Structure 1
């Protein structure tokens, strides 16, 4: 949509709208003049973090009956809700499966039953696992290394299947290392950038698992949001998966150096990918998307906010 006037009256639904990515997406959708409804069970998201212009439905995607009515009159669903983080999925595979797979299936069924035009699914680059070469391209055979990665892959396959079986417009955006304001700062399963910032704030050593030379393609949340906005009305929504990553990778050691402070190394953790790097060709062709925020700019912004 090119103008707010074109958006008036159009209702969109964001699952997990109180969470990190979801709350930023809700803000952007509201800013575009759309009517926004969000579903969240507030297990991790904060009610006060949801834009006041959005309608809030407190419900759990694991319970199909609790979410069904929220899909009434909806044009586009952005399915962002998930139980993220690899270590949590290894420790609690059944719990995370219920949210990440059963929850996704419930969302797709509700969207089908209410004749929702399009579902944009928040996927994950973790589905690639270890590959012989990088950058990671959508044509590669997925090789999930942990329950979370497998759950995200199963869910994007469900999204593709719903397109094939029911002619529902679906598209998966495979996110690469999303970071930025509002990302989780507490708990055992936070992103490395968040953990480093918290350690520096508390004058503790920055903890790195492994040698620190493993690389990640970190993508700023504002760029992820812009990809979602473009996915809402792009011409192709045939169930395909599209990488949403900056297309540059950086080692954890370099990230730690940007944040500053002493570093302590621990033994590497099972189930982690060694390197991630997105080929963003499809995102540029299908979505017309290009990232704008460099890792240096993103880290500088977070340091300014957190110190």
Structure 2
């Protein structure tokens, strides 16, 4: 990771969950970090996420849809970690145009700006496992058919492929990581727009039951945010990653009912309840999912290191202390 010392790094979505944790690590490596975030309330940006490093980074409040601002900010950067996005699957079905603008059209504008003002930088794009849709087989590897079940998955796929196209045609170094369920301090917990685990954390701290939809047997894998950050940095540092797509994942696979029980057992009290799927969620549910991430192990040497119970304990402790910065509550 010494490669980042003294380098100029731009992070879109920089006040969000993963972006802020990435920024903190890069500051520790001696990078010159600029954060871009729209701070639109429906999305994940939160100034408190960088409270401890605020004087060590530059912050520019702008929307990734502002192509002129992004073109200016991209000049002279060595790396772009392109993390900004609309993450809610339900919102993408209710307001597909906005999802298209942020997750596809804005990505194309960013890449065009790179081509014109800074074709030599390296880009790491945060993609999603959601684009696979309902798995034909498990674990899901990168050769699995791509069959998104919602507008968000289609637009994220377009954003991913724009990056690979510009790598292949214009020589702009770019790669993509298909993230699975990332969690940890800094994630949006006000609601379920970013991850269902977020609203679970809030419900527990407020003393309310966790809502588990369906029979609770759906299998998932999870990555603690520190492991996700490590994967992003390894991809950014590796020329071998250019033009590639990598799954992230975990060897720990767990059913949602067992996950709810695990988080309840951490000592914050609470219970979970099984509820029928709301129709709008059932329509886009993918059933079981967990990743085959052997490709990134073999090519970049990445391995998740934070166990699920440890990561959940860290997450609950963080929000128990700092919840007032993430939602209005008086537990």
Q: Partner residue of 1:18?
A: 15
Q: Partner residue of 1:46?
A: 46
| 8 Å CA contact 1:248, 1:277 repeated in 2 | no
2:208 equivalent to 1:199:
no
Per-residue displacement from partner, 1:17-73 (whole Å, max 9, x unpaired)?
000000001111111111111211111312343332111122111121121110010
Q: What is the rounded CA distance, in whole Å, between the counterparts of 2:120 and 2:84 in structure 1? A: 18
Q: Partner residue of 2:156?
A: 152
Give SS of 1:239's match.
coil
2:260 equivalent to 1:256:
yes
Shift of 1:9: 3.1
| 8 Å CA contact 1:10, 1:34 repeated in 2 | yes
Shift of 1:306: 3.4
Q: What is the rounded CA distance, in whole Å, between the counterparts of 1:197 and 1:46 in structure 2? A: 17
Where do 4+ consecutive residues of structure 1 move more than 6 Å?
A: none
1:293–1:8 distance in 2 versus 1, CA, 3 Å: closer
Segments of 5+ residues of structure 2 without an aligned counterpart are 265-269, 321-331
Q: Quick one: which of 209, 212, 216 aligns to 2:216? A: 212
Q: What is the rounded CA distance, in whole Å, between the counterparts of 2:61 and 2:22 in structure 1? A: 18
Q: Quick one: which of 117, 123, 129 aligns to 1:119? A: 123
Map 1:1-307; keep pairs closer than 5 Å: 1=1, 3=2, 7-43=4-40, 44=43, 45-50=45-50, 51-52=53-54, 53-113=56-116, 114-260=118-264, 261-268=270-277, 269=281, 270-307=283-320
Shift of 1:188: 4.7
Shift of 1:192: 2.1
| 8 Å CA contact 2:4, 2:26 repeated in 1 | no
| 8 Å CA contact 1:244, 1:278 repeated in 2 | yes
TM-score normalised by structure 2 residue count: 0.88
Q: What is the rounded CA distance, in whole Å, between the counterparts of 2:232 and 2:111 in structure 1? A: 17
Q: What is the rounded CA distance, in whole Å, between the counterparts of 1:7 and 1:238 in structure 2? A: 17
1:168–1:66 distance in 2 versus 1, CA, 3 Å: same
| 8 Å CA contact 2:74, 2:113 repeated in 1 | yes
| 8 Å CA contact 1:129, 1:145 repeated in 2 | yes
* Greater mean deviation of Cα atoms: 267-276 or 173-182: 267-276
Give SS of 2:227's match.
helix
Give SS of 1:236's match.
helix
Shift of 1:194: 1.6
* Greater mean deviation of Cα atoms: 13-22 or 95-104: 95-104
How many residues of Structure 1 are paired with residues of Structure 2 in the alignment? 304
Q: What is the rounded CA distance, in whole Å, between the counterparts of 2:227 and 2:38 in structure 1? A: 26
Per-residue displacement from partner, 1:269-293 (whole Å, max 9, x unpaired)?
2212212211111111222100001
Shift of 1:237: 3.1
* Greater mean deviation of Cα atoms: 219-228 or 100-109: 100-109
Give SS of 1:232's match.
helix
Shift of 1:8: 3.9
| 8 Å CA contact 2:248, 2:291 repeated in 1 | yes
